[in-house]
Amino acid sequence: MGIIDRWKLQLRTTFTGGDPDIPQWQFEFGEGDDLGYFPLGSAVWTVHSSMTPTVAGIRALLLQALHPGAMAGVHEHSSFREEPLGRLANTIRWIFTVTYGSKVAAQQGSAFVQRLHTRVNGSYTDSRGVGRPYSAADPELVRWVHLAFTDAFVAAHKAYGGPIPGGVDAYVAEWAAAGELMGLDDPPRSEAGLREQLATFDGELTNSAQVQETLAYIRHPPLPRSQRLGYRILFAGAVATLEPRHREMLGLTVPSLGPFPLPIRTAVRLVLGVIRSGLGPESPSEAAAKKRISRLRGATTA
C-alpha cells in the first residue's frame, strides 16, 4: 500500500471510529419508501454534504462543554477517554441518519438515541454552586445540545463554506426537525430565534476542572501523526468561530498557526479540501440516499 492509500485509509478510519471499512449502515440509506426530511438541494443537505461539519463538530463539543449538566453526563457515562473517536462516530451516524435516511430511519435512529439517554442520570453542581440532578433526557439538556450543534453548523459554514440555499434562516428552520425527533418542543426556526434561545443559557454556563479535562481531549485527540497538523488548523478554525464570551469562558484565544503564514480561513479551507480529496467527492451515505430518492421519484413518474 502506497503512502497516499495509507493516508486515505487512516483518514476514513478516523471518521468511522477505528473501523477501516465503510460501515454497512451508510449503504442502508438506499432503503426506505419515503424521501426523508431534507430534500436534495435543501439547506440542511447542502451544509451537511460539505466538509464544514468537520469544523462544526469540534466547535459543538467546545460549546457543549460549558454546560455543567452536559459535562457531568459525558464524564460519568461516556467512553470519551478510552474511545473518543468512537463517540464521534456515533454522533456522525445519528446526524447522517437524520440527514440522509428515510423518515422512518430518522425516527428509529432518534428513538434509539432517546432510549440511551434515559439511562444517563446523575447529579452535578451548577454554575451557582448548587447540587442538581440531571438526565440526558431532560428537555433543557436536549435543547442545549440541539442549539450547540445548530449554532456550530451555522457558524462553521458561514466561515468556511459556500452559500446556503435560503440562507441561515432556512437551515435553522429545516434542522428544527432534528430537534423535534429528539423530543424537543419549539426548537428555533430562524437565526434570530437561535440567538434568543442560546442567550437563555448564559447563566447556566461555567468553566470547571471537568471542562478543562474535556478541552484537553478535544485539543489533542489520539490521531495518527499524518493528521495532527490538519487537526491543529481545524481546531484553530473552530475556536475562531466561537462567540468571544464563550472563548473567554473556556480560557481560549484564537490559536496562532505558528510558522504557517496563511490566514486561518484560508488554512481551514485548504485542509477541508485535502480531507475531501481523501474521502472522495461524495460520502457513501449521500450516494445511497440519492439512489433511494431517484428510485422513489422514478416510481412516482412511472
**Which residues contact residue 22 at a Cβ distance below 8 angstroms, ignoring those fewer than 6 apart?**
12, 16, 284
pLDDT tens-place string over residues 250-275: 999 987 776 666 799 999 999 999 99
Strand partners, 248: none
Whether residue 20 is predicted with pLDDT greater than 90 in this model: the reply is no
pLDDT band per the 50, 70, 90 thresholds, residue 76: low
Mean pLDDT of 118-139: 83
pLDDT at 160: 98
Cell of 77: 457515562
pLDDT band per the 50, 70, 90 thresholds, residue 223: confident
pTM for the model: 0.90
Q: How far apart are CA 259 and CA 252, in angstroms?
A: 20
Can you give the length of the chain in residues? 302
Q: How far apart are CA 14 and CA 283, in angstroms?
A: 14
> Whose CA is closest to 141, among 110, 90, 182?
182
> Whose CA is closest to 12, among 100, 85, 84?
85
Whole-Å CA distances, 255 to 81, 221, 260, 285: 24, 16, 12, 33
Q: Quick one: how far is CA 2 from the chain centroid? A: 31
pLDDT tens-place string over residues 161-184: 999 999 999 999 999 999 999 999
pLDDT tens-place string over residues 86-99: 567 788 899 999 99
Whether residue 12 is predicted with pLDDT greater than 70 in this model: the reply is no
Mean pLDDT of 123-141: 83
* Lowest mean per-residue pLDDT among 11-25, 55-69, 197-211, 227-241: 11-25
Q: Parallel, antiparallel, or unpaired for β 131-135 and 121-125?
A: antiparallel
Per-chain mean pLDDT for the chain = 88
Mean pLDDT of 199-212: 92
% of the chain at pLDDT higher than 70: 86
Mean pLDDT of 214-235: 89
pLDDT at 87: 64
Burial per residue of 48-72, b for 16 or more beta-carbon CB atoms within 10 angstroms, e otherwise: bbbbbbbbbbbbbbbbbbbbbbbbb
> Whose CA is closest to 145, among 60, 52, 48, 238?
60
pLDDT band per the 50, 70, 90 thresholds, residue 302: very low
pLDDT at 182: 96
Task: Please report which residue ranges of the chain form alpha helices under DSSP H.
Answer: 3-15, 43-48, 53-64, 68-77, 84-100, 103-117, 139-160, 167-181, 191-199, 209-219, 225-241, 244-250, 264-279, 284-301
